[in-house]
């Protein structure tokens, strides 16, 4: 095999890429096994009407960016009517669109536009809880204890002679107790209702047949309008143990796996019956619809249960996301996932960031430990090195996109955006900030509106004639990271993603399938995929001599001859 012939990222466009003339054929019903899906956090993606908030018109105006990027689908965070106590995850009406985002007609047009661009559309569904403004909950408050309306939720009498203590010791993952007491219709102190998240998000009772049938109607409502699938929020939480027993000492943490087996409200076995019924609905369509589970579990064998052939199609790989930038930890996460998911014939779905975690540029730009993390609160007060974080993030992108299965790209990840850690306190909106007594700044730092073009905020996020500023302020330094500034710059993160996704779609070795590890020194990962592909990732402190290969397809940073520098990845044709 010939030695490496190119050493600079800037040379990529001039190098022939030895790939198949056409993308490998994938059965339409199986597109999700290899898909790269782009997450649209709609409030922060693009503002079409100038009110400072992202909307459907903004998404439609930027579909060309997603098509040029090379992704297969977009997942849109909730766009339903909501008081926004938790950024739309407190839903009032699951079969409508919030006026601030647009109309149902515009939503249907977006689906059609996306399909014309060759993009599928996945929506978010929030089945664990509704908004406290939902008509069902308002009816429950008005009708009082023992009513049929209250049985759709989890109302219970309080403990103690006066009923003034919560029914059990469960904690909200946003901080504080998981129970709130209501005033009864006559004004007297009354029952308590369960909310594993904010008080404005009462948990539904999934033992109630009307709850089940109503969500099945919601699935069909959107599927009939061309939506290609759903991401299921808090997929592990729907079913609670009979009797709602105390947990004892338990510190619920946002987006952390359950701390014990047989947990009374996380990952109950009974939840799988719900997803079997949902899968039957999805499979009833001529082109079957798909599901991806948000399931924070630290046992891959438990995660595999959600993606058995008669249940959900995929699940986010949070084990991989939470792994530090250490070769052994990342390799272990990959092995655990591929091994256990393989037992049920499901593909892995890799992810590095999303709207609930600190952006990985900022996570990787700090000293790495063996402890899995996803938030800045977990990382501590160590200062961030954005250049280091961005270098590692670029390498992580090539690692993720070389792995078998599918992947998700969080908006702005393709621009190399970092977490905005200095947002003024007065603009913070995340309930984590408020429920933690202003100790945890929450998730707003990863939700700052995207920079599209220009030299000053709002960087094209809103029209030039916009009457309002973006709902969260953008850093002035993002002028260097706008999509326009990076387009055509072969050393930019945006062009790296475009090149990687172009190669991934065309190369017969990439996407769904198998992989094997090649021998490598400590701190280096070598992944082989057939036919003729190797991904090399150097997480050590020293240069690594690349293995024999025909040519280099892509590198996350400049190579030094045949040496791969630290915190750099390369794709090789063998």
User: For 368, which DSSP code?
Assistant: -
pLDDT over 50 (residue 6)? no
pLDDT over 80 (residue 408)? yes
233 given a catalytic annotation: yes
Residue the block writes with tokens 């008509």: 135
Rg of the chain in Å (alpha carbons): 24
CA-based nearest residue to 15, from 411, 519, 551 = 551
CA-based nearest residue to 34, from 287, 401, 332 = 401
255-265 in b/e form (b: 16+ CB < 10 A) is bbbbeeeebbb
pLDDT, position 15: 33
3-state secondary structure (DSSP) of residue 242: coil
In which order are the strands placed within the sheet that holds 524-529? 516-517, 524-529, 533-538, 568-573, 551-555
Q: What is the pLDDT of residues 296-339, one digit of tens each?
A: 887 889 999 999 999 999 999 999 999 999 999 999 999 999 99
pLDDT, position 442: 87
Which residues have C-beta within 8 Å of that of residue 137, sequence separation ≥ 6? 130, 131, 153, 202
**Residue 127 zone, left/alpha/beta (φ > 0; ψ -120 to 50; rest):** alpha
Sign of CA dihedral 112, 113, 116, 117: negative
pLDDT over 70 (residue 128)? yes
Residue the block writes with tokens 């399931």: 295
Burial class (CB in 10 A: 0-12, 13-18, 19+), 83: middle
Express as a percent the part of the chain with pLDDT over 70.
Answer: 92
Q: What is the pLDDT of residues 203-261, one digit of tens each?
A: 999 999 999 999 999 999 999 999 999 999 999 999 999 999 998 865 555 445 565 67
pLDDT, position 17: 29
**23 pLDDT tier (thresholds 50, 70, 90):** very low
Which residues have C-beta within 8 Å of that of residue 422, sequence separation ≥ 6? none
pLDDT, position 9: 30
Is the peptide bond between 311 and the residue preceding it cis, with omega within 30 degrees of 0?
no
CB 60 within 8 A of CB 109: yes
Residue the block writes with tokens 């998911």: 341
CB 159 within 8 A of CB 167: yes
User: For 98, which DSSP code?
Assistant: -
Q: In whole angstroms, what is the distance from residue 181 CA to residue 192 CA?
A: 4
pLDDT over 90 (residue 122)? yes
User: For 274, which DSSP code?
Assistant: H
Q: In whole angstroms, what is the distance from residue 73 CA to residue 32 CA?
A: 9
pLDDT over 90 (residue 289)? yes
Number of other residues whose CB lies within 10 A of the CB of residue 442? 24
Which H/E stretch holds residue 121?
A: strand 120-125
Residue the block writes with tokens 């012939």: 5
Number of other residues whose CB lies within 10 A of the CB of residue 93? 16
Q: Which has the higher per-residue pLDDT, 29 or 32?
A: 32
Q: What are the structural domains of the chain?
A: 135-194 (3.90.400.10), 513-573 (2.60.40.1180)
Vertex 508 angle, CA 506 and 514, to 5° = 135
Q: What is the pLDDT of residues 439-460, one digit of tens each?
A: 888 899 999 999 999 999 999 9
**1 pLDDT tier (thresholds 50, 70, 90):** very low
Q: In whole angstroms, what is the distance from residue 263 CA to residue 106 CA?
A: 42
pLDDT, position 154: 98
Average pLDDT over residues 98-104: 98
Q: Which of 47, 124, 252, 294 is catalytic?
A: 294
pLDDT, position 29: 62
What are the percentages of helix, strand and coil residues in the chain, rounded to 5? 30, 15, 55
pLDDT, position 381: 72
Vertex 327 angle, CA 325 and 331, to 5° = 110
294 given a catalytic annotation: yes
Is the peptide bond between 531 and the residue preceding it cis, with omega within 30 degrees of 0?
yes
Which H/E stretch holds residue 167?
A: none
- 37-51, 150-164, 430-444: which range is least confident on average? 430-444
Q: What is the pLDDT of residues 447-503, one digit of tens each?
A: 999 999 999 999 999 998 888 999 999 999 999 999 999 999 999 999 999 999 999
Q: Which of 233, 252, 356, 440 is catalytic?
A: 233
pLDDT, position 455: 97
CB 181 within 8 A of CB 192: yes
pLDDT, position 248: 83
Express as a percent the part of the chain with pLDDT over 90.
Answer: 84
Q: In whole angstroms, what is the distance from residue 340 CA to residue 334 CA?
A: 10
CB 485 within 8 A of CB 455: no
Alpha helix segments (H runs only) across 169-264: 209-223
- 178-187, 241-250, 368-377, 559-568: which range is least confident on average? 368-377
What value does the mean pLDDT of the chain take?
A: 91
Average pLDDT over residues 175-198: 96
């Amino acid at each position: 095999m010939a030695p490496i012939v190119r050493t600079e990222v800037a040379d990529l466009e001039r190098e022939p890429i030895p790939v198949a003339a056409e993308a490998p054929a994938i059965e339409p019903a199986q597109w999700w096994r290899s898909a790269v899906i782009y997450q649209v956090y709609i409030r922060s993606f693009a503002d079409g009407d100038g009110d400072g908030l992202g909307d459907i018109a903004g998404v439609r105006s930027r579909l060309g960016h997603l098509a040029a990027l090379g992704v297969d689908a977009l997942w849109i965070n909730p766009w339903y009517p909501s008081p926004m106590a938790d950024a739309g995850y407190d839903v009032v009406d699951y079969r409508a669109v919030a006026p601030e985002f647009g109309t149902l007609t515009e939503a249907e047009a977006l689906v059609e536009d996306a399909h014309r661009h060759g993009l599928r559309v996945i929506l978010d569904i929030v089945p664990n809880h509704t908004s406290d403004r939902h008509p069902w909950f308002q009816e429950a408050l008005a009708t009082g204890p023992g009513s049929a309306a209250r049985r759709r939720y989890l109302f219970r009498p309080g403990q103690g002679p006066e009923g003034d203590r919560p029914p059990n010791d469960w904690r909200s993952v946003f901080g504080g107790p998981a129970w709130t007491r209501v005033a009864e219709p006559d004004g007297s102190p009354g029952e308590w209702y369960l909310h594993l998240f904010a008080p404005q998000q009462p948990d539904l009772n999934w033992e109630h047949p009307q709850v089940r049938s109503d969500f099945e109607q919601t699935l069909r409502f959107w599927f009939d309008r061309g939506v290609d699938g759903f991401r299921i929020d808090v997929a592990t939480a729907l079913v609670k143990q009979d009797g709602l027993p105390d947990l004892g000492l338990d510190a619920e943490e946002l987006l952390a796996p359950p701390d014990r087996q047989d947990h009374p409200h996380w990952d109950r076995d009974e939840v799988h019956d719900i997803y079997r019924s949902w899968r039957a609905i999805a499979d009833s369509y001529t082109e079957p619809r798909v599901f991806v589970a948000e399931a924070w579990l630290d046992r891959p064998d438990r995660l595999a249960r959600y993606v058995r052939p008669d249940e959900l199609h995929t699940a986010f790989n949070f084990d991989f996301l939470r792994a530090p930038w250490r070769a052994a930890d990342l390799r272990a996460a990959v092995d655990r996932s591929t091994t256990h998911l393989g037992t049920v014939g499901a593909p892995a779905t890799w992810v590095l960031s999303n709207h609930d975690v600190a952006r990985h540029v900022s996570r990787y730009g700090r000293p790495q430990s063996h402890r899995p993390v996803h938030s800045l609160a977990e990382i501590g007060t160590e200062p961030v090195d954005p250049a280091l974080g961005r270098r590692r993030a670029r390498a992580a992108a090539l690692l993720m996109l070389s792995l078998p299965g599918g992947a998700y790209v969080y908006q702005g990840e393709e621009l190399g955006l970092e977490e905005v850690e200095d947002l003024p306190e007065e603009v913070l909106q995340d309930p984590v900030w408020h429920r933690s007594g202003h100790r945890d700044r929450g998730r707003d730092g990863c939700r700052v509106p995207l920079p599209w073009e220009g030299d000053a905020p709002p960087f094209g996020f809103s029209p030039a004639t916009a009457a309002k500023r973006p709902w969260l302020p953008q850093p002035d330094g993002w002028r260097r990271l706008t999509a326009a500034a990076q387009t055509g710059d072969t050393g930019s993160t945006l062009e790296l993603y475009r090149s990687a996704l172009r190669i991934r779609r065309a190369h017969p070795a990439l996407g769904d399938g198998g992989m094997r590890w090649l021998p490598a020194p400590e701190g280096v990962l070598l992944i082989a995929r057939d036919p003729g592909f190797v991904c090399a990732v150097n997480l050590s402190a020293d240069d690594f001599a690349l293995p024999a290969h025909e040519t280099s397809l892509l590198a996350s940073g400049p190579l030094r001859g045949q040496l791969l520098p630290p915190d750099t990845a390369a794709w090789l044709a063998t």
